[in-house]
Amino acid sequence: MSRLGIIGIVIVAIFVLVALFAPWIATHPVGDTDLMTRYIGPSAAHWFGTDSTGRDIFSRVVFGARISLEVGIIVVSVSVVIGTIIGSLAGYYGGWLDRFLSGYLFNVFLAFPGLLLAIAVVAFLGAGLNKLIFALCVIGWVGYARLIRAQVLKVREYDFVQAAHALGAGDLRIMAVHILPNAIQPLIVQASLGMAGAVLSEASLSFLGLGVPPPAPSWGVMIEEARDLSTLQAAPHALIFPGLAIALTVLAFNFIGDGLREYLDPRQRRR
Amino acid sequence: MKHKLFGVLRRIGLLVLVVWTVVSLVTLLIELVPGDPAVAVLGEQATPEQLAQFRAKHGLDRPAFFFGLPSDENGRRHLRWYGLNNRYKDYWVAILHGDLGRSFRTDQPVKDLILQRYPATIELAVVAMVIAVCIAIPLGVMAGKNRGTLIDNGLSVVALVGISLPSFVIGPMLVYVLAVKLGWLAPSGRFVWSDIILPAFTLGSALSAILTRMVRSSVIEEMGENYVRTARAKGLSERTVVYKHVLKNGLIPVVTVLGLQLGVLLAGAIITEKIFGWPGLGLLLVEDGIAKRDYSIVQGCVLAISTTYIIANTLTDLLYRWLDPRIRVS
């Protein structure tokens, strides 16, 4: 795998460990405000400094990793499962079902600019972690469905699938045993790019005030709280560290996605 | 010819179908509001008369759709047919008359609010796109021409970083450096021409990174073609070869992406407008719509943004067919 891909895996591994062991890594309780220690720059006592209410930014960034990765993992898993089921139904059975699913339903979901549909759903449902996850799944599945449909269309024509048919295997068996394992490779690439997208969307919605409500230490919420002019002037680090955390996580998943794509596609590897 | 016309008609048919679904979704989304929208807007202390008046005014006292599943006094649900006396039909009739309802809070027509804000958003998106293209073409060409070198690898990493840095991180950082520290530009608002620089750059940065990658791979692909060898054999300078011959062919896929990305920019503008207080549709949606629970504004904005997006996509698709005849067949 490419060097960047490995770097991506290392960064993600670090963030996963940080998220898992957050209570032991954080140096201060996340919610503790202390107006005597507002706007302190990075120091030995507060590694990333403190924000406008004196909360320790390092500890909040550490706990923020939990929210980001939790949302990312749930959203991508649910979207992959739903997308795989719907996509393989469309690709395998074809006919009117495919015309309805890929000709109409996919296009409707792709007709919304990604984030807008999520914003609309959360705007009406109300903010909250579960609603945010639901909204991101609503927009997330269709990309996987389209991908799997195209793969299934290709794989179902292969000789071994025809052979399985001839031997009398049922649809479910052909799908699960013969087609899907051979169709799933690009899905892995898409899923790691999807993790980047989900982390970014969670932060965006939280930034807009539609995600995890404050005082939860979501990176998006931290940036929203750090960007008013007085905080920006007194404590730019309150913006920089959560911003770096988002950028690093998203970058790492993008690295992994790009690396996997090259690794799985030998034609690109030779270039 | 027949094929071509059929393709175009199919595309327009799909457009109509998708717009119909989007409008239906937007009208019915208000059913998702937990509890009573009237209480959500007016607050718990509103009197029953005020609530009833509000519901009657905005049609909330009437069924949402042609049929529903209301529960009777025993809590059981039954399918009930309401006929034409429903909000869904009213909404359609109103839309076809150019009416998007009135604001739940200020009672202004939503259509006027949207038309007031629409030009600012389009202006922002277009300037962002121009900035992105101006950055991406030279960088992409430079990376593609020097494939595999340090320049190429460096630009690829910069592009990936550009894609990964969200606008709500870049934006406030630019505000910090250029507005707070250096004092060159205003941190927010839309008063003088220079106010558009920060938001447009912020909005366009991710796009410029995506385009750089596309131009790069396009240039690499086209550089191997026979016509490039011919052009070189004719003794044309490398500059002429790249900018006159290679780019002309290599930009076709980029044009498609531009059209599709216009929609992405419209959605991204929601965040950028919030960062910079840019008075466009996004700010209307977030501050007047969502924050104040003014659901009719939310509906109107979602409708306006997604319709623009759908139309832009369809136009791009048709333009692409026209530019590259090979796709008409498939």
Q: What is the pLDDT of residue A83?
A: 94
Q: Please indicate whether residue A112 or residue A88 has the higher confidence score (pLDDT).
A: A88
- Residues of A within 8 A of B28 (CB-CB) are none
Mean of pLDDT values over B313-327: 74
Nearest residue on chain B to A103, judged by CA atoms? B14
> How near does any CA of chain A get to the CA of B254, in Å?
19
What is the C-alpha separation between A158 and B271, in angstroms, rounded? 46
Checking if the pLDDT of B329 tops 50, the result is no
Q: Does A224 contact B at CB distance below 8 Å? A: yes
**B209-247: buried (b, 16+ CB within 10 Å) or exposed (e) per residue?**
bbbbbbbbebbbebbeeeebeebeeeeeeeeebbeebbb
Given a contact cutoff of 8 angstroms between Cβ atoms, the answer to whether B307 and B95 are in contact is: no
Binning pLDDT at 50, 70 and 90, where does residue A73 land?
Answer: very high
- Give the three-state DSSP class for B249: helix
User: Please, what is the end-to-end C-alpha distance for chain A in angstroms?
Assistant: 14
Beta bridge partners of B160: none
Q: What is the pLDDT of residue A267?
A: 64
Q: Does B305 contact A at CB distance below 8 Å? A: yes
**B100-131: buried (b, 16+ CB within 10 Å) or exposed (e) per residue?**
bbbbbeeeebbbebbeebbebbbbbbebbbeb
How far apart, in Å, are the Cα atoms of B265 and each of A232, A236, B125, B309, B311? 26, 27, 6, 9, 14
Residue B295's closest CA among B5, B34, B41, B7?
Answer: B41
Residues 6+ apart with CB under 8 A from A38: A50, A51, A52, A53, A54, A234, A235
Residues 6+ apart with CB under 8 A from B200: B124, B127, B128, B131
Which tokens hold the place of B172?
């406030």
Q: What is the pLDDT of residue B19?
A: 85
- Residues of B within 8 A of A203 (CB-CB) are 166, 168
Q: What is the pLDDT of residue B330?
A: 44
**Is the CA virtual torsion B290, B291, B297, B302 positive or negative?**
negative
Mean of pLDDT values over A62-72: 92
Q: What is the pLDDT of residue A148?
A: 92
> How near does any CA of chain B get to the CA of A120, in Å?
7
Q: Does B182 contact A at CB distance below 8 Å? A: no
Mean per-residue pLDDT over chain B, rounded:
83
Residues 6+ apart with CB under 8 A from B116: none
Candidates A111, A209, A226; nearest CB to B310: A111
Nearest residue on chain A to B261, judged by CA atoms? A113
Q: Does A115 contact B at CB distance below 8 Å? A: yes
- Give the three-state DSSP class for B66: coil
Q: What is the pLDDT of residue A147?
A: 92
Candidates B17, B172, B302; nearest CB to A116: B302
Checking if the pLDDT of A27 tops 90, the result is no
Q: What is the pLDDT of residue A266?
A: 64
Q: Does A104 contact B at CB distance below 8 Å? A: yes
Q: Does B263 contact A at CB distance below 8 Å? A: yes
**Lowest-confidence region among A89-98, A99-108, A186-195, B39-48:** B39-48
Mean per-residue pLDDT over chain A, rounded:
87
Q: Does B168 contact A at CB distance below 8 Å? A: yes
Mean of pLDDT values over A76-80: 96
Give the pLDDT confidence of A132-184 residue by residue, as tens digits. 999 999 989 999 999 999 989 888 888 888 898 889 888 888 888 888 888 88
How far is C-alpha A164 from the geometric centre of its chain's CA atoms?
36
Q: Does A243 contact B at CB distance below 8 Å? A: yes
**Is the CA virtual torsion A172, A173, A176, A180 positive or negative?**
negative
| DSSP track, B173-229 | HHIIIIIIIS--S-SS-SSSGGGGHHHHHHHHHHHHHHHHHHHHHHHHHHHTSHHHH
Q: What is the pLDDT of residue A271?
A: 45
Q: What is the pLDDT of residue A195?
A: 94
Residue B42's H or E segment, with its range, is: helix B37-42
Given a contact cutoff of 8 angstroms between Cβ atoms, the answer to whether A22 and A65 are in contact is: yes
What is the C-alpha separation between B40 and A84, in angstroms, rounded? 38
How far apart, in Å, are the Cα atoms of B298 and each of A133, A203, B93, B265, B285? 20, 21, 19, 18, 6
Contact A232 B164 (CB under 8 A): no
| Phi, psi of B307, rounded to the nearest 5 degrees | -65, -40
Give the pLDDT confidence of A1-20 residue by residue, as tens digits. 788 889 999 999 999 999 99
Q: What is the pLDDT of residue A75?
A: 96
Which tokens hold the place of A175?
């799908």
Mean of pLDDT values over B213-224: 85
How far apart, in Å, are the Cα atoms of A271 and each of A266, A267, B39, B104? 9, 7, 62, 59
What is the C-alpha separation between A36 and A57, in angstroms, rounded? 15
Candidates A224, A239, A258; nearest CB to B173: A239
Which tokens hold the place of B326?
């090979």
Q: Does A209 contact B at CB distance below 8 Å? A: yes
Q: What is the pLDDT of residue A46?
A: 79
Contact B180 A119 (CB under 8 A): no
- Residues of A within 8 A of B271 (CB-CB) are 204, 207-208
What is the C-alpha separation between A43 and B157, in angstroms, rounded? 31
- Residues of B within 8 A of A115 (CB-CB) are 267-268, 270
- Residues of A within 8 A of B175 (CB-CB) are 227, 229, 232
Q: Does A12 contact B at CB distance below 8 Å? A: no
Contact B33 A254 (CB under 8 A): no
Q: Does B134 contact A at CB distance below 8 Å? A: no
Enter the ipTM: 0.83
Checking if the pLDDT of A269 tops 60, the result is no
